[in-house]
Amino acid sequence: MRLSQSFIPTMRQDPGEAEVTSHRLMLRAGMIRKVAAGIYSYLPLGLRVIRKIEAIVREEMNRAGAQELLLPILSPAELWKETGRWDFYGKELIRLHDRHERDFCLGPTHEEVVTDLCRREVSSYRQLPLTLYQIQTKFRDEIRPRFGLMRGREFIMKDAYSFDRDEASSQHNYQQMYDAYCRIFSRTGLRFRPVEADTGLIGGISSHEFMVLADTGEELIVFDPDSAYAANVERAEVVPPPTPASAPENVSPLEKVSTPNAKSVEDLCALLKVDANRVVKTLLYQTGENEITAVLIRGDHQANEIKIKRFLGLHDLTLASPETVERITNAPVGFVGPVGLSPVRLLADHAIGALSDFIVGGNETDVHLINVNSPRDFAVDDWGDFRQAQAGDLSPNSDSRLQTARGIEVGHVFMLGTKYSEKMGSTFLDAEGQSQPAIMGCYGIGVSRTAAAAVEQNHDEKGICWPMPIAPFQVQILPVTSSDAVRQAAEQLYHELGQENIEVLLDDRNERGGVKFNDADMIGTPYHIIIGDKSLANNTLEIKDRKTGEKVHISPDKVTAWIKEAVTRKLEIGA
RNA sequence: CGGGGCGUAGCGCAGACCGGUAGCGCACCGCGUUCGGGGCGCGGGGGUCGGAGGUUCAAAUCCUCUCGCCCCGACCA
């Protein structure tokens, strides 16, 4: 393609709207433009990247035995009401109605629609297993769309759904999809890691997320450097500490201390000159209209609300309002403690069980209690794993300590079990003539997000450095001086590379070299071929590797073969 | 939704406190010159100052309301 005739509006300056790297660079490279918050147009260059990712996804899904179809974006409320998600999905579901006032929504995911299809068409175990997928625009009215393509309200997703006759077959299918995902992200040239994950709104039995590792990622994961264990911190189980609390005869008597204005753990530690791990914070959650639940977490730990929600079987969990806290404890927020705190249900994280002579709030303004011990001073209703895993925690899989990393969730696989098939009556007759609900799985890949994640992971101060498999073009030719000889050499090379099916962008604009260099670096084509009078005089052309910056000078007649070999190699290794 | 910030030419910004008929850089158009890392000269086009209402002789500027966008927290591919 000729740059002079292409719609690739690059920008010289950073747009004010973008702060995150991928967002900024994709705007500057002329790949996307914003239409509204979280809604973007894919310009020709951006679309080429999307199509490349889609092609890899298609190949691997097909190879894994999945069949492509296309479900409607618009779906009727009735299906969503059957599973209860019309209400449960909340404000993220974009709802609309037709001229007859019938309710519809724009599909944020397609379990309902595909399960409806399956219950109509599948009636025998002989038709299973069945895995269907589509690549389609999805709509989720995100609370806060941000970071360009990273979290849009409209985005491109590959979603797949499996239907199996039994648990073993479903697990096999899940594993096949898991393996396909590993191949997909390897092939795109991204550094990624599958991690154990929470099931969230989709629900189901178990799931893994595929995280592209990047410091700007929104997700925090923990991993064991010495085993395969890795998990989203939301999900990561914390191994209960082995150290038992001191024997009752060895603990000190309970004591009240004055702690003026010590409303946070930091304040308290500074005031009493103790470490945060000697402090226990008491969090009050509103767990029902008139029900408060207290959760004890060690001062240096973070509460994990997902674990608490799961334990309590709740959909929503919010911290109690300051007014409520005051009403219950007769003290402002910051002085809550478990001693004498009633009549609320009291949950405690396992870490508390290993503590003795610890410090808690006194349920009185400017007062804390020290030398507190359980069960001497208060009774815990339920013990559990209620905190967020963190770096330094013991791995559940080895004796190693967990480490943390940031990641961008680009894929998510779920074992759904019969959650949807039972609610919607998607059943089949087994070999014994018994009616059984299909065992389901669902598998998503954020295609547009993968493009953004690739930029987060592959860029430098000059611009994007695309991995070859998803680069919009494989080679860019830069005639950097304007003589006829240079122009002719560029044209000839452009023609030759085209003959070899190399995807080549020729910068035939009447611009100075510097402009072309900078745009090429911004766009991030993996190889740049630089043609100028200087090099032609030596009978060489210069080839620059965008990512490494390495340059080679070779004679013009060898360039096409060299490029062809190099492109093929990079496609194979996913670099 | 809570907290913070911003809407002035395609992009990046100044002007606003102190009201007086809108400016700079880049981009764009023309001519010339230049040509291996965002050249230079001359000439030129382009703005309902996000929108509505108000105060005033006069509003980008002051007041009220509103819409949009970005960033930080609760959701998710």
Q: Which of A200, A198, A201, A199 is nearest to A88 (CA)?
A: A201
Single out the residue of A253, A226, A224, A254 nearest to residue A236, CA to CA. A224
Lowest-pLDDT choice from A117-121, A124-128, A197-201, A235-239: A197-201
Mark the nucleotides of strand B covered by protein, meaning any atom under 7 Å from a CB: 1-2, 6, 11-13, 25-27, 34-39, 68-77
Q: Which residue intervals of A261-361 are DSSP H helices?
A: 265-272, 305-312, 322-329, 350-353
- pLDDT-derived band at A239 (thresholds 50, 70, 90) equals confident
Q: Across chain A, what does the average pLDDT equal?
A: 92
Q: Using the predicted structure, report yes or no on whether residue A200 has a pLDDT greater than 70.
A: no
Taking CA A136 as the corner, what is the angle to CA A134 and CA A141, rounded to the nearest 5 degrees? Answer: 130
Angstrom distance, A375 CA to B24 C1': 72
A23-27, A270-274, A313-317, A422-426: range with lowest mean pLDDT: A313-317
Q: ipTM strictly over 0.90?
A: yes
A261 pLDDT above the threshold of 90 = no
pLDDT at A202: 61
Average pLDDT, stretch A526-555?
96
Query: CA(A112)–C1'(B69) in Å?
Result: 35
Q: What does the pLDDT average to over A346-357? A: 92
Q: Is the CB of A527 under 7 A from strand B?
A: no
**Residue A61, phi then psi, degrees to nearest 5:** -70, -45
Q: Whole-number Å distance, CA A17 to C1' B52?
A: 26
**Distance measured from the CA of protein residue A79 to the C1' of nucleotide B56, in angstroms:** 61
pLDDT of residue A201: 58
pLDDT of residue A270: 85
| Contact, A119 CB vs strand B, < 7 Å | no
Flag the least confident range among A82-96, A123-137, A453-467: A82-96
pLDDT digits (tens, 9 = 90+) for A291-330: 888 999 999 888 888 888 888 887 777 888 777 888 888 8
Query: Which residue is nearest to the C1' sugar atom of B10, using CA?
Result: A11
Name the DSSP letter for residue A146. Answer: B
Scan residues 238-297 of chain A and list those with Cβ within 7 Å of strand B. Answer: none
Chain segment A150-162, per-residue pLDDT in tens: 999 999 999 999 9
Q: Give residue A203's pLDDT.
A: 61
Nucleotide nearest to A142 (CA to C1'): B75
Q: Which residues pair with A96 in a beta bridge?
A: A104
Stated in angstroms, how far is A512 CA from B29 C1'? 19
* CA separation for the pair A274, A266 (Å, rounded): 10
Q: How much is the pLDDT for A286?
A: 83
Model pLDDT, residue A279: 92
pLDDT at A194: 95
The whole-number average pLDDT for the span A178-193 is 96
pLDDT tens for A327-348 read: 888 888 888 899 988 678 999 9
Among A118-122, A235-239, A252-256, A341-345, the range with the most confident prediction by mean pLDDT is A118-122
Sign of the four-CA dihedral A545, A546, A548, A553: positive
Residue whose Cα is closest to the C1' of B26: A12
Beta carbons of A384 and A347 less than 8 angstroms apart: yes
Task: Judge whether residue A35 contacts strand B, using its CB and a 7 Å cut-off.
Answer: no
- Does residue A8 register a pLDDT over 80? yes
What contacts 24+ positions apart, CB below 8 Å, involve A194-200? A194/A230, A195/A221, A195/A223, A195/A230, A195/A231, A195/A232, A195/A235, A195/A407, A196/A229, A196/A230, A196/A231, A196/A232, A196/A235, A196/A236, A197/A231, A197/A232, A197/A234, A197/A235, A197/A412, A198/A232, A198/A234, A198/A235, A198/A306, A199/A414
Distance CA A388 to C1' B73 in A:
17
Q: How far is the CA of A516 from the C1' of B30 (A)?
A: 23
Torsion of CA A464, A466, A470, A476, to 10 degrees: 90
